[in-house]
Structure 1
Amino acid sequence: MKLKRFLLRYYPPGIILEYVKGGEIRTKSIDLLDLTPETDTEELLAEIRKSEPLVTWSRAEQVRQLLRTLQDKLRQHVERSFPLFKVLQAHVLPLTNVAFNKSACVSYADKVATGSFDKTCKLWSVETGKCFHTFWGHMAEIVCLAFNPQSTLVATGSMDTLAKLWDVQTGEEVATLSGHSAEIISLAFNTAGDRLVTGSFDRTVSLWDVPTGSCVHTLIGHRGEISSVQFNWDCSLIVTGSMDRTCRVWDAPAGKCVFTFSDHEDEVLDVCFDCTGQLIATASADGTARVYSAATNQCIAKLQGHEGEISKVCFNPQGSRVLTASVDKTARLWDVRSGECVQVLGGHTDEIFSCAFNYEGDAIITGSKDNTCRIWR
């Protein structure tokens, strides 16, 4: 094996090694999920050299500088506000979901995908507002969507009980995933992009193999409709939210439930991990959101302030902020540790269905029933 070069991954922190083996160019990653500005880089470098043969003595100084660059990136995070940047008049009928594209080694998202009650998904340019593609094929409303990590595919879930995969470059349908007996309300890719998890109103969660379109596991245990699903960073866990007022954590390879959160007083409408998989956030129809430690399963913060149910929740890439979207027509930005609201994003004239950060965490997108999505940065 011969090392060619290093690539940095900011969120979650890591170093990607590009090397040649058997005449082929391959990659592997050194995940640094616990890296902080205070981490002793000399100790960490020694650990990396001990465990990774490609990091030889001659490459030590280069890795040392990369570690310091990652620490500088973590220090650069400024507790900023997000003024309105652009409004997209997206669909004929109301929006249901929005997402930025992202890639592990690309720091800027240039595309936005939107799903709608008009049964289509559209792919947009962030800068110009131009529509690249309109994905036609679902027979009912699209209620969830996601880019794969490589930004080559968009997955859509619909009230027609199907999930579909679309080619970002050509706009063509790649695959249809069938097996649920009711609406697919949530879906997410794993980090490698070779697995997709879907949650349905049939009260089950399905884990799919993306290349073949086959179902790997069906997760059964919730007593109500599934509202939200997501993988953690290393794809060892799946978190699910349900109308049964609980959030469950599952062992992804085994397909078994390992913990259940039961703190909310009403339906859990959305759940997510932070980018390192160390924190879990939940959003509920009780008007609150909560942040938990994935290691201890303890509640860190209870987020209170919305005047109605919270439909979406997500972390910024740095893991220091939580963004929520509500039927009260606002999105809110919260401090993870204190639980304090630091900004209210107002301006939509109807309930907000969806919200997301871009890769860098310096832009936010919100999608509303008022038939627009707004970009804030």
Structure 2
Amino acid sequence: MQICAHPVDSFKALRMRDYCTRYDCHGYGIILEYEEAGYLGTKSIDLLDLTPQTNLDELVAEIRLSEPLITESRAAQVKELILRLQKKQGQQDHHRFCFCKELKAHILPLTNVAFDKSGSRFITGSYDRTCRVWDTASGTELHTLEGHRNVVYAIAFNNPYGDKIATGSFDKTCKLWCAETGKCFHTFRGHLAEIVCLAFNPQSTLVATGSMDTTAKLWDVESGEEVATLTGHTAEVLSLCFNTVGSQLLTGSFDHTITMWDVASKRRVHTLIGHVGEISNVQFNWDCSLIISGSMDKTCKLWEAVSGKCVATLIGHTEEVLDVCFDLSGQLIATASADGTARVFSAATHECLATLKGHDGEISKICFSPQGSRILTASSDKTARLWDVQSGACLQVLEGHTDEIFSCVFNYEGDTIITGSKDNTCRIWY
């Protein structure tokens, strides 16, 4: 939620008759979340054509014509939201990151790190069976989430809300926690093997878990009850991702396939067949029109979400593709490989635009900065690196860890990075 966490700016909730509407900037678009008669709905407005030169008055007027939820009284706030996004597009990113703090986070190696929406807190999972909650600014530990009986492998905040945390463990359970107090709300039991991936839906009403038992499960956040078991894969489910509105879920498996599920009916929509190796990661683009998958077969594939058809195979890596992601506009794809290189592809033309060379070991994680101008990679060579998206040049090497770096994340503003390492520490970079 990888999968992929997209940055979100929130307007204060308001009530208009029986609607409660919140406006969020989400990449190059706006999410409208509304509640009517107890039903929580979500609509997205595509802003992929937004540029720093776009006339905002004309754009807001156009949006209002097509979306009745945006009333005249809210038009100014929508304009302000789009203006902020427009300003971000125009910013030149020359920030150089400096090492700030090293946190002796756990007594055994870390497994994952994740920010909350604001970037003020982050969480770490570990082989020591705990998840820890940290204050980003001070590096202070806020809570230790204890209770799992084996490795805490998958972790996530319920962004954009940030008031809950989910942890998935090799003990076959997932736990739901209060991010403010550290209290455990629920323990989700039912998987028959290790849980290795999880994600909240955008409404924070469901948690999806993927397991080595070949299934994914959906859990109700409020009641703690199992909602569905999604069966059909014949090997471990290693990756999953909700679409922007939470109506569909992707699962990627070691059986070489990706399945798209309809969340409401719990039924299979498509099986994406074509890879000849295990799936390492799968992700929707911003408007959910495309899906990217990375595989141990050394390729990535681009799929059309509506039809499930493969529209391109992205080649060039000489070893397994270990991670893949879209930028926030959905126009660029970044891939990371065991061959020690990363690549940038065009989602439209499928061309390789840049090859990122410099690491001395496999690259296990890759992500775009929120502004989209930089790429961050984590490698077994004990470094993380920042790259220029356009040229592929290495802008900075983040050094200091004494073992493999397996996790790296930007905060929403793109001015803070957390790296997590097998050396039992995480590092904060400003």
Same fold flag (TM > 0.5): yes
2:11 corresponds to: none
Which whole-Å deviations, capped at 9, do the CAs of 1:126-152 have from their partners, x for residues lacking one? 788777666554333333222322233
1:277 aligns with 2:330: yes
Equivalent position of 2:309 in the other structure = 256
Distance, in Å, in 2 between the alignment partners of 1:360 and 1:67 is 16
SS at match of 1:10: strand
2:273 to 220, 226, 234: 220
1:72 paired residue among 79, 83, 87: 87
8 Å Cα contact 1:98/1:367 also seen in 2? no
Query: Structure 1 118/360 Cα, relative in aligned 2: closer, same or farther at 3 Å?
Result: farther
The CA deviation at 1:298 is 1.9
Question: CA offset at residue 259 of structure 1?
Answer: 0.7
Change in CA separation of 1:156 and 1:359 when aligned onto 2, cut-off 3 Å: farther
Which residue of structure 1 aligns with residue 116 of structure 2? none
The one-character-per-residue Cα deviations of 1:164-211 (angstroms, maximum 9, x if unpaired) are 233445655443222111111211111111211111111111111223
SS at match of 2:191: coil
Distance 1:346 1:136 in 2: 40
Identify the residue that residue 7 of structure 2 maps to in structure 1: none
| Cα contact 1:96–1:369 (8 A) shared by 2 | no
Question: Residue 191 of structure 1 corresponds to which residue in structure 2?
Answer: 244
Select the residue among 364, 371, 375 that pairs with 1:311.
364
Q: Are the aligned partners of 1:97 and 1:367 in contact in 2 as well (CA < 8 Å)? A: no
Contact 2:198 2:208 in 1 (8 A): yes
1:1-377 aligned within 5 A: 7-16=22-31, 28-45=43-60, 47-49=62-64, 51-52=66-67, 63-75=78-90, 79=95, 81=97, 83-84=100-101, 88-89=105-106, 90-92=126-128, 96-103=153-160, 109=162, 113-121=166-174, 135-168=188-221, 172-346=225-399, 348-370=401-423
8 A contact 1:189–1:197 mirrored in 2: yes
CA deviation profile, 1:289-320 (whole Å, cap 9, x unmatched): 11111122122222222221112222233222
Structure 1 range deviating more: 261-270 or 46-55: 46-55
Contact 2:25 2:82 in 1 (8 A): no
Contact 1:208 1:214 in 2 (8 A): yes
8 Å CA contact retained: 1:10, 1:73 = no
Shift of the alpha carbon at 1:5?
8.4
The alpha-carbon deviation at position 284 of structure 1 amounts to: 0.8
Deviates more, 1:129-138 or 1:266-275: 129-138
Shift of 1:26: 6.2
Q: Give unmatched runs, 5+ long, in structure 2.
A: 1-15, 107-125, 129-149
RMSD between aligned alpha carbons?
Answer: 3.7
Distance in 2, Cα, partners of 1:29 & 1:169: 25
Amino acid at match of 2:278: E
Contact 1:247 1:262 in 2 (8 A): yes
- Cα separation, 2, equivalents of 1:46 and 1:357: 34
* Conserved? CA contact 1:14–1:31, under 8 Å: yes
Task: Give a deviation string over 1:254-273, Cα, whole Å, max 9, x none.
Answer: 11111111111111111111
User: CA distance change for structure 1 residues 325 and 4 in 2, over 3 Å: closer, same or farther?
Assistant: same
Give deviations 1:7-55, integer Å, cap 9, x for gaps: 4423314345578989989664432123233333244345435545666
- Secondary structure of the residue that 1:71 maps to in structure 2? helix
Cα 1:9–1:300 shift into 2, 3 Å: farther
CA distance in 1, matches of 2:34, 2:313: 42
CA distance 1:149–1:57, change in 2 (3 Å): closer
- Say if 1:209 and 1:215, in contact at 8 Å, map to a contact too: yes
Q: 1:187 to 1:60 in 2, by over 3 A?
A: closer
- For residues 181 and 85 of structure 2, the distance between their equivalents in structure 1, rounded to whole angstroms, comes to 31
| One-letter amino acid matched to 1:271 | V
TM-score with structure 1 length normalisation?
0.81
Q: Per the alignment, do residues 222 and 122 of structure 1 end up closer, same or farther by CA in structure 2, a change over 3 Å counting? A: same
